[in-house]
Amino acid sequence: MKKYIMLLILFLCFHLTYGQTRFNHILITNDDGIEDANRLLALARSVSNVADRVSIIVSVFDMSGTSNHSTYGKYQSTLEVTCEYYDKENNIAIYTLPANPADCVMLGLGGFFGDDGPDLLLSGINSGANDGPYWFSSGTIGTVRTSAFIGVKAIAFSGFDDDNEKSFIIIPKWIEEFISSGFIAELDNNSYLTVGFPRIPFEKIKGVKLVERRITFDKPEVFRFKKIYGEEAHITDHKTIWVLEVTGNPNNQEIKYDDYYLQQGFIIITPMTIDENHSALINKLREKTDLIPKFYK
């Protein structure tokens, strides 16, 4: 009984505080593609309780690790879209296209639905954790970066355990309660959220933590490429083959960022932004502009 009471508290902690928010149109995508249709539909059916319309746009391929890279314009000039599924009663549809996750977002937010454009983008639910520095190449997080760039609120979800049947009910239900709680109303156009679920039995989840992300590796020197074929690499026409080796833990877990709390059994919520301007550095460099070489024509 105790574990079910705790789960109920997790579902309702945001909802009871702020009241329910409804959405006109929620767009769902991922980086694993249509092969994760079961996860996608579980999420869509749950969040349809707080939205008038739910659409899923994903790649026909698994495009994990593509970050927010778009193939449109460089490798393809058109997008061929297939409607794979439509649930008229609940107004849920699935569309696929042979493209990157970022392309799916740009299509969905860029006119595909006419005047009924989505007002919230959800990415996932990804199986991998995407915690700490691993956000950098994540397609799951790349989609919400793309959405924030366009100006639509977005949240990425990671840490789904397919082997636990309860995942298909409990996690989508928590997401439904979370997005409708009013908590995400504070997101501005340049911001997005990433949410990570610990892959442990649900009754062992300790709660929810709002934390900063470990942006990069504390010890990048543990990543080293090792030569496994060939001799001298720096002679014209010589060929060599290299493989990446990891010689230790790249992160200092004594510095408590998102990945630390995820390992401790917390659901982690991390606010992030696409604004990469460095105002503090600009102010410092303005004091040294006399050191910039003159440009002579």
Q: Yes or no: say if 234 and 193 are a contact pair by the CB < 8 Å rule.
A: no
State the DSSP code for 295: P
Say if strands 120-126 and 23-29 run parallel, antiparallel, or are unpaired.
parallel
pLDDT band at 19 (very low <50, low <70, confident <90, very high): low
Separation between Cα atoms, residue 145 and residue 239, nearest integer Å: 38
**pLDDT value of position 163:** 80
H-helix or E-strand spanning residue 251: none
Confidence of residue 73 (pLDDT cuts 50, 70, 90): confident
Please report, as a single letter, which amino acid is at residue 187: L
pLDDT of residue 11: 52
User: Can you name the residues that pair with 95 across neighbouring β-strands?
Assistant: 57, 83
Residue 86 has pLDDT above 80, yes or no: yes
What is the pLDDT averaged over residues 124-135?
Answer: 81
- How far is residue 214's CA from residue 258's CA, in Å, rounded to a whole number? 6
Question: CA 110, 90, 175 angle in degrees (round to 5)?
Answer: 75
Over residues 3-8, mean pLDDT: 51
* Domains along the sequence of the chain with CATH: 2-214+253-276 (3.40.1210.10), 217-250 (no CATH)
pLDDT in tens, 207-224: 999 998 887 777 778 888
Q: What is the pLDDT of residue 10?
A: 54
Query: What is the structure's pLDDT at 17?
Result: 46
**pTM score, two decimals?**
0.85
What is the predicted pLDDT for the residue at 95? 98
| Confidence at residue 14, expressed as pLDDT on a 0 to 100 scale | 46
pLDDT band at 267 (very low <50, low <70, confident <90, very high): very high
pLDDT of residue 6: 54
Question: What is the DSSP code string of 126-166?
Answer: ESS---GGGGTT-HHHHHHHHHHHHT--EEEEE---TT-TT
Q: What sign has the CA pseudo-torsion 15, 21, 24, 25?
A: negative
Paired strand residues for 97: 59
What digits encode the pLDDT tens for the residues 155-177?
999 998 878 888 899 999 999 99
Q: Average pLDDT of 251-272?
A: 88
Provide the pLDDT confidence category of residue 9 given band limits of 50, 70 and 90. Answer: low
- Whether residue 8 is predicted with pLDDT greater than 80 in this model: the reply is no
Give the pLDDT mean for 37-48.
Answer: 96
196 and 131 in contact (C-beta within 8 Å)?
yes
90: left (phi over 0), alpha (psi -120 to 50) or beta: alpha
- Kind plus residue range of the DSSP H or E element containing 10: helix 2-12
| Residue of higher predicted confidence among 269 and 161 | 269
Q: For tokens 């009013």, name the residue.
A: 182
Report residue 247 as tokens: 């010689």
